[in-house]
Amino acid sequence: MDIFTISIWIGTIIFLIFSLVKNKEKTKMALKMAFGMGKNMILSILSIILLIGLILAFLPPEQIAVFVEKQNVLVATIASAIFGTITLIPAFIAFPLVGTLVDAGVGIVPSVAFLTTLTMVGIVTFPLEKKEFGTKFTVVRNGLSFVFAIAIALVMGVII
Interface positions, 121-140, toward other proteins (CB under 8 A) = 122, 125, 128-129, 131-134, 136-137, 140
Which 17-46 residues touch other proteins, going by CB under 8 A? 19, 26-27, 29-40, 43-46
Could you tell me which residues come within 8 angstroms of residue 71 by beta carbon, excluding any fewer than 6 positions away?
79
Q: Does 62 bind other proteins (CB under 8 A)?
A: no
- Among the listed residues 159, 128, 154, the one whose alpha carbon sits nearest the alpha carbon of residue 142: 128
Query: Quick one: CA dihedral 135, 141, 144, 145, positive or negative?
Result: negative
Of the residues 67, 96, 105, 123, which one makes contact with other proteins according to CB under 8 A: 96
- Binding flag, residue 73, other proteins (CB under 8 A): no
- For other proteins, the closer of residues 70 and 136 by Cβ is 136
Our finding on whether 51 is near other proteins (CB under 8 A) is yes
SS3 of residue 160 by DSSP? coil
Minimum separation from the CB atom of position 153 to other proteins (A): 9
CB 83 within 8 A of CB 55: no
Stretch that binds other proteins, among 12-20, 62-70, 72-80 (CB under 8 A): 12-20
From 21, 70, 72, 159, residue interacting with other proteins (rule: CB under 8 A): 159
Residues 6+ apart with CB under 8 A from 49: 93
Q: How many CB atoms lie within 10 A of CB 95?
A: 12
Q: Decide whether 5 or 70 has the Cβ nearer to other proteins.
A: 5
